[in-house]
Amino acid sequence: MLDKEYTYYKKNKADLLRKYKDKFIVIMNDSVVGIYDSEGEAYKDSVSKYKLGTFLIQHCVANDEETKQIFHSRVIF
């Protein structure tokens, strides 16, 4: 899940850093759909617009200290 979005981030990291350094970006498919100053703001706005599990919130930082976090809900389908 969201591997496509994370791959997009890693593949385009240099360009994304030039545009969005130190911001939290929201990625869906192969495009940036939101830019925010905080992770909380990115989450709050994104869940009001998009279905959970369809977007990635990524801190756009220069070093390799960014982490990939996966959260699972306890929803049963």
pLDDT at 76 over 70: no
Using 50, 70 and 90 to split pLDDT, how confident is the model at 63?
Answer: confident
10: in domain = yes
pLDDT at 57: 95
12: in domain = yes
Using 50, 70 and 90 to split pLDDT, how confident is the model at 65?
Answer: low
20: in domain = yes
44: in domain = yes
Name residue 34's beta-bridge partners.
26
70: in domain = no
Report how many domains make up the chain.
1
* Domain with 51 in it: 3-59
The string of pLDDT tens digits covering residues 10-53 is: 999 999 999 999 999 999 999 999 999 999 999 999 999 999 99
23: in domain = yes
